[in-house]
């Protein structure tokens, strides 16, 4: 069965492909022929099929390529406007990023996603009467990490793309590591106490990928 794909043309030096939300996108210059594109797809058919069969939502965003972004578990149409002062507006169906440049827009998006995750983590921390530092960064293969010797939790800012319950589950997971360092029975008992429905949110979190 032929693979359906969408070609997005712009002045670029190379041809690239990306599978997003179950569809193949090919990014090529106006000078790349349809035959060259078909040949490229044929030579990478195994990789493409593997990506198309992966039903998880990929949260690695590219402001130059992607038309949508997930925020708190809901897809929003992504609009980037350059040449303006820093501003991000979230509506029910859209995320509008205003920035001086595309590079600034990418930085602003990371800061915005981090602020969502940090707000939820700090809310949980304060409700428990605990005192630890919260930071956000990008991890390729994990949602968070506990550095108990530094009294620090580092969370993947892409968590902001998932439902709030997923974020809370990860925060509680990392908090439990302050008391139980390994994933022993006592660890899951503590996690159950802090987040009684953690299994539900953990299952939802598996619908997303950051790799």
What is the set of domains in the chain, with CATH numbers?
Answer: 5-55 (no CATH), 117-209 (3.30.2010.10)
Do residues 115 and 135 make contact, with C-beta atoms less than 8 angstroms apart?
no
State the average pLDDT over residues 25-44: 91
pLDDT at 193 over 70: yes
Cα–Cα distance between 45 and 196 in angstroms, integer? 44
Cα–Cα distance between 183 and 195 in angstroms, integer? 15
Using only C-alpha atoms, what is the Rg of the chain?
Answer: 20
Nearest to residue 143, comparing CAs of 59, 26, 35?
59
CA distances from 92 to 67, 76, 165, 170, 175 (A): 16, 7, 18, 25, 31
Give the confidence band of 1 by pLDDT, cuts at 50, 70, 90. low
pLDDT at 53 over 80: no
State the average pLDDT over residues 177-186: 93
Cα–Cα distance between 72 and 12 in angstroms, integer? 33
Do residues 90 and 71 make contact, with C-beta atoms less than 8 angstroms apart?
yes
pLDDT at 211 over 70: no
Tell me what pLDDT residue 14 has.
85
State the average pLDDT over residues 105-121: 97
Tell me what pLDDT residue 179 has.
93
Q: What is the share, in percent, of the chain residues with pLDDT greater than 90?
A: 72
Tell me what pLDDT residue 49 has.
84
pLDDT digits (tens, 9 = 90+) for 147-166: 999 999 999 999 999 999 99
CA distances from 72 to 18, 92, 116, 179, 201 (A): 23, 11, 9, 28, 13
Do residues 137 and 117 make contact, with C-beta atoms less than 8 angstroms apart?
no
């Amino acid at each position: 069965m032929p693979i359906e794909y969408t070609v997005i043309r712009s002045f670029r030096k190379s041809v690239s492909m990306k599978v997003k939300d179950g569809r193949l996108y090919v990014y090529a210059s106006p000078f790349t022929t349809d035959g060259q594109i078909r040949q490229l797809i044929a030579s990478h058919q195994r990789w493409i099929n593997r990506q198309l069969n992966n039903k998880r939502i990929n949260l690695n965003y590219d402001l130059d390529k992607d038309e949508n972004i997930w925020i708190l578990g809901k897809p929003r149409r992504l609009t980037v406007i350059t040449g303006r002062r820093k501003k991000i507006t979230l509506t029910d169906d859209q995320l509008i990023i205003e920035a001086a440049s595309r590079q600034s827009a990418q930085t602003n998006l990371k800061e915005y996603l981090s602020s969502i995750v940090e707000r939820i983590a700090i809310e949980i921390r304060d409700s428990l009467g605990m005192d630890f530092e919260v930071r956000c960064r990008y991890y390729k293969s994990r949602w968070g990490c506990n550095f108990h010797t530094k009294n620090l939790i580092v969370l993947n800012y892409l968590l902001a793309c998932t439902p709030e319950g997923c974020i809370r589950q990860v925060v509680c997971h990392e908090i439990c590591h302050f008391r139980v360092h390994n994933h022993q029975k006592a660890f899951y008992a503590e996690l159950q106490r802090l987040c009684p429905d953690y299994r539900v949110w953990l299952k939802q979190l598996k619908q997303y990928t950051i790799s």
